[in-house]
Amino acid sequence: MVSTDTVLVTGAGGFIGSHLVEALVARGFRVRAFVRYNGRGDPGLLRDLPSDMRAQIEIIFGDLRDSHAVHEATRGVDTIFHLGALIAIPYSYVHPRETVETNIIGTLNVLEAARAHGVRRVVHTSTSEVYGTARFVPITEEHPLQGQSPYSASKIGADKLVESFHLSFGVPTVTVRPFNTYGPRQSARAVIPTIITQALTRSVVRLGDLRPTRDLNYVSDTVAGFLAAAERDQAIGQAINLASNDEISIGELAEKIIALVGRQVTIDVDESRLRPETSEVFRLHGDNRLAHELLGWKPLVSLDEGLRRTIDWIAQHIDRYDPLHYQV
């Protein structure tokens, strides 16, 4: 991937997608951003980018489930970063069909378009949720895949489609498997903004189960992994964890955030936030050795530093959040 390339980013208006677009534009790439259509013409979190940077982005509105829209967006593209997906696990309990159609059929459309237009690299976004609760730690890429929610099942299906297009048709793909990414712009459907917004504004932080552990990565580290996956030829055909090689429980994480916020806040379990017992992923602790070997990647931002940056950003944008509402 060279700076004269044209790159397509699906899911460009989302949390990680907007940070990736920002990094690509800063490096001089021609960026085409595929954003799910809405009647407001709202480009999502791309609106947070500086105006001079937004002016350099070609924004295309559409739906991943529309094969024609995806094919048209792919014309003249050298590299595809496929981040577009429905990602909320609780939402997948309520709308499993929409989740499957977007995440599996949408990925199929991206792969068919990449094949038809001879795209040089497809970087596909997986998730640590495909592993389910760890059977062993740290979780390597050889860990069994477990569909413990409709969302994780849809991502397993998407991952396997990517694998099949590489093995069957020679489409040059790389699957990156981020563990739990956090940072500025993330919505309150994720646990860290949920904790921070309540810790900043309320006397009680209400959460679901406090026992599960997560492997956390600051968003700039995750973006660096995507960029390396697009550049390293030895990554083609691989699925690669982007993990910190560490874990922290939700309860410990909440205590750490409250300490950094510096307010007197207690923690309470809200039963409405609990996931079905057999669907909850109780342990995520990833092995990042393959990423280091193939991509030269390792996380650079410590958890404390990343949380400080995220707290500062959310405090400046607290009006975007509703701490009283459980966001599915």
Residue range 54-100, pLDDT digits in tens? 999 999 999 999 999 999 999 999 999 999 999 999 999 999 999 99
| Domains of the chain, earliest start first | 6-181+217-242 (3.40.50.720)
Q: How far apart are CA 180 and CA 196, in angstroms?
A: 16
Contact between residue 252 and residue 188 where contact means Cβ atoms under 8 Å apart = no
Beta sheet of 121-125, edge-to-edge order: 57-62, 30-36, 6-10, 79-82, 121-125, 173-178, 239-242
What percentage of residues in the chain have a pLDDT greater than 70?
100
Per-residue pLDDT, averaged over 304-309, amounts to: 98
Q: Which residues of 284-298 are buried (b: 16+ CB within 10 A; e: fewer)?
A: bbbbbebbeebbebb
**Residue 151 is among the residues annotated as catalytic for this protein:** yes
Alpha carbon distance 255, 257 (integer Å): 6
Q: pLDDT-derived band of residue 2, with 50, 70 and 90 as boundaries?
A: confident
Instruction: Answer with the residue of higher pLDDT: 2 or 235.
Output: 235
Q: What does the pLDDT read at residue 323?
A: 87
Sign of CA dihedral 165, 291, 79, 84: positive
Q: Dihedral of CA 108/109/111/115: which sign?
A: positive
Q: Which tokens sit at 209?
A: 């189960």
Structural contact between residues 232 and 323, judged by C-beta atoms closer than 8 angstroms:
no
Q: Both tokens of residue 142? A: 């050889």
pLDDT at 309 over 90: yes
Q: What is the pLDDT of residues 120-131, one digit of tens each?
A: 999 999 999 999
The Cα 79–Cα 119 span in angstroms is 6
Q: Residue 328: its pLDDT value, please? A: 74
Question: Catalytic pick from 91, 131, 151, 182?
Answer: 151
**Which residue did the predictor score with more confidence, 326 or 96?**
96
In this prediction, residue 327 carries a pLDDT of 81
pLDDT range class, residue 179, cuts 50, 70, 90:
very high
Please name which of 219, 90, 103, 112 lies closest in space to residue 159, comparing C-alpha atoms. 103
* DSSP assigned state of 286: B
Judge whether 44 and 18 are in contact, CB under 8 Å: yes
What pLDDT sits at residue 324?
Answer: 80
pTM for this model (two decimals): 0.96
